[in-house]
Amino acid sequence: MTIVFAVSVGLLMGVVFGFALEKARVFEPGMIVGQMQMRNFIMLKVFLTAVATGAIALAALHGFGYVKLQPKAALYSADVVGGLILGTGIALAGACPGTILAQIGAGYRDAIFALVGGLFGALAYSYSTPFLAKTFLAEGGGKIILTDLIGIPYWQGALALAALIVIVLVVLERATPWRGELGANVDGDRR
């Protein structure tokens, strides 16, 4: 695979993702806050759909030998602490790293502040990495792949995950249909 092909595919996937993000209205701050408050599940449905689609694509690409998986080592403490910090920031800003640029493109001026804050956070993290590497946050369990633990090929595990996610999506959609979740306001508040 040439670099030009890889970049072209990446750009095309970015356009498709951006289009889906905009059509699903998942980039809107009220939608994000509504998900964080567990009042609106459209964002969860969109992202679970993306995970299922990605699992199927990776199963095919890995199965046919086009990609080699390179799992990252699990750093449990860092993942929990980082996830809590990121989740708090998402809930406060009404934006996540994947939606900030879409918000800026749609004219949400306050998203520029979230972008600048995220860039400063990344800069602060890069300078604090040597210190953090000496703390409990750097301790982990090594590279863990569920399919290796249970002794099945990756493609089977990925397809099983995708099937499980589809079942969860069907149940979630029946419990909270997306058309009803849009409500009068984007965040699901029907007042």
Using 50, 70 and 90 to split pLDDT, how confident is the model at 142?
A: confident
Task: Identify the weakest region by mean pLDDT among 2-11, 45-54, 178-187.
Answer: 178-187
Q: What is the mean pLDDT of residues 12-21?
A: 84
Q: Of 68, 80, 69, nearest to 141 (Cα)?
A: 80
74-89, pLDDT tens digit by residue?
Answer: 787 788 888 899 889 8
Using 50, 70 and 90 to split pLDDT, how confident is the model at 185?
A: low
Q: Residues 141, 143, 145, 151: is their CA dihedral positive or negative?
A: negative
**Exposed/middle/buried for 103, CB within 10 Å: 0-12, 13-18, 19+?**
buried
Q: Of 19, 21, 20, 28, nearest to 187 (Cα)?
A: 28
Q: What is the mean pLDDT of the chain?
A: 85
38-79, pLDDT tens digit by residue?
Answer: 888 988 998 899 899 999 998 998 888 888 887 777 787 788
> What is d(CA 81, CA 108) in angstroms, rounded to the nearest whole number?
29
Q: Of 82, 93, 88, nearest to 115 (Cα)?
A: 93
Q: Of 191, 186, 176, 180, nearest to 41 (Cα)?
A: 176
